[in-house]
Amino acid sequence: MTVLLEVENLTVDIPLAAGDLHAVRGVDFTIKKGETLGIVGESGCGKSITSFAIMGLLPQSAIRKAQRLAFSGQELADLTQEQLSDIRGNKMSMIFQEPMTSLNPSYTIGEQLIETLLRHRKVNRKKAVERAVFLLEKVGITAASSRLKQYPHQLSGGLRQRVMIAMGLMCGPDLIIADEPTTALDVTIQAQILSLLAEIQNEFQMGQILITHDLGVIASVAHRVAVMYAGQFVEIGSVTEIFEAPMHPYTQGLLACIPIPGKTKRGSFLGSIPGKVPTLIGDQTGCSFANRCTYAKEACLLKDVDMVSLGPGHSYRCVLSSEICHQNAREAACT
């Protein structure tokens, strides 16, 4: 399979009055055609910033650095704004968190859908409208052609998110980034939107980055999973590897927070990770999870921890050896 997106040592710094905010610190991953990478992590861990960095949508003050940030072999940092905007919405598109505010209230759904296509393809309005209707039906919107004349405020949140998905698909992109596409929606709608996304991704064989804080979502949709904490990937691997054999104490902690039917005893406490996320403002040294980690030692604080590879595709960021990590996982599972 061809490699779609390569990210190597991506960092994003945002200068603030109190000092530099190191929002993303050395993130590496690749995405192949037809593959879904799930990125999980708590709010504020840098998931969204990572996706904005890839799309080139960071706030003006933010500083993006990367050894390599290539889309279809083309280094994105070398492109002019004009060339970058040729790719955005065309080869690579994004679905945002808040469907309620992500559509322009002053224009109809139809206008906002077709302008993407008119921008990137040489088609007439009629063809663009046909494509919009086709995609709206694809994402499960009935009476699509009459919906085109409606304004965003006339649609429910679920419908708007479907419109956003259709908008992302207008040009048939190779890569789609979905940034918590379901957080703002009702639980019943969430499942529909997610299965819709998975279906479409499979049908068009796109690469997908799915950002969420919901591990259940990741387990059912993603092929590979990256666990993000304090601006870093702390573990990355296939779904089976992450869920069956989590290595990093943070991943283990996250998994312990999910109740499993039949396994978690009635009335027992759900897992939780004590402590809070460290501030990312100012210089960082050592493992950033150490202040919440049950296994933390002096050594954790002395120097930055590198990713340890466990074989193709699975690596984790911890000073502990893989045997000890396995041991910890088993003990944690027993209690």
Partner 1 sequence: MLIYTLKRVLLALLVALTVSILTFGLLHLSSDPAVALAGEDATEEDIQLVRVQYGFDKPLPVQYMTWLTNALQGDLGTSYYFGIPVSTLLAQRLPVTLTLGSCALIYAILFAVPLGVLAAMRPNTWLDRFCLSLAVSAQAMPSFWFGLMLIVVFCLWFPLLPVSGSDTWKHFIMPTIVLGTNAMPAIMRLTRTGMMDVLATDYIRTARAKGLRPNTVLLKHALRNAVIPVIAVIGIQAGYMMGGTVIIETIFALNGMGLLAYESIMYFDLACMEAVVLLLCLVFITTTFVADILNAWLDPRIRIR
Partner 2 sequence: MTTQHGILKKISGDDDIIEPTPGQIMRARSLRHWGLMIGGIVLCIIVVLAILAPGVAPHNPYTQILSDRLLPPVWDSQGSMEHILGTDQVGRDYLSRLLYGARISLMIGFATVLLSGFIGTSLGLMAGYYGGRVDMFINYLITVRLSLPGILVALAAVQLIGGSLPVVITVLGFMLWVRFAVVIRSATMQIRNMDYIKAAKAAGCSSFRLIVTQILPNVLNQFVVIATLEAAHAILLEASLSFLGIGVQPPLPSWGLMINEGKDFMFFKPYLISIPGIALFCLVLSINLVGDGIRDVTAPENRN
Task: Kindly list the residues in this chain that would bind partner 1 in the complex (CB under 8 A).
Answer: 55, 57, 81-82, 85-90, 93-94, 96, 98, 101-107, 115-116, 119-120, 151, 153-154, 164, 167
The tokens describing 116, both together, are: 């993407």
Q: Rounded to the nearest whole angstrom, what is the least distance from the CB of residue 179 to partner 1 in the complex?
A: 10
Q: Is there binding between residue 278 and partner 2 (CB under 8 A)?
A: yes
- For residue 6, the cross-strand partners are 30, 70
Q: Which does 273 bind (CB under 5 to 8 A by kind): partner 2, partner 1, none?
A: none
C-alpha–C-alpha distance, residues 264 and 256, integer Å: 10
The tokens describing 101, both together, are: 């505010």
Contact 31, 4 (CB under 8 A): yes
- Summary count for the chain: helices (H), strands (E): 12, 13
C-alpha–C-alpha distance, residues 334 and 252, integer Å: 13
Q: Which does 275 bind (CB under 5 to 8 A by kind): partner 1, partner 2, none?
A: partner 2
Member of 14, 189, 296, 310 binding partner 2 (CB under 8 A): 296
Q: Is there binding between residue 283 and partner 2 (CB under 8 A)?
A: no
Q: Is there binding between residue 16 and partner 2 (CB under 8 A)?
A: no
Nearer to partner 1, 74 or 101 (CB): 101
Q: Is there binding between residue 298 and partner 2 (CB under 8 A)?
A: yes
Residue type, 31: I
Q: Is there binding between residue 290 and partner 2 (CB under 8 A)?
A: yes
Q: List Cβ neighbours of 96 (8 Å cut-off, separation of 6 or more).
A: 102, 164, 179, 181
Q: Rounded to the nearest whole angstrom, what is the least distance from the CB of residue 97 to partner 1 in the complex?
A: 8
Phi then psi dihedrals of residue 83, to 5 deg:
-65, -35
Q: Is there binding between residue 44 and partner 2 (CB under 8 A)?
A: no
Q: List Cβ neighbours of 272 (8 Å cut-off, separation of 6 or more).
A: 257
Name the segment binding partner 2 (CB under 8 A); options: 78-86, 120-128, 142-150, 290-298: 290-298
User: Which residues contact partner 2 by CB under 8 A?
Assistant: 275, 278, 290-291, 296-298, 300-301
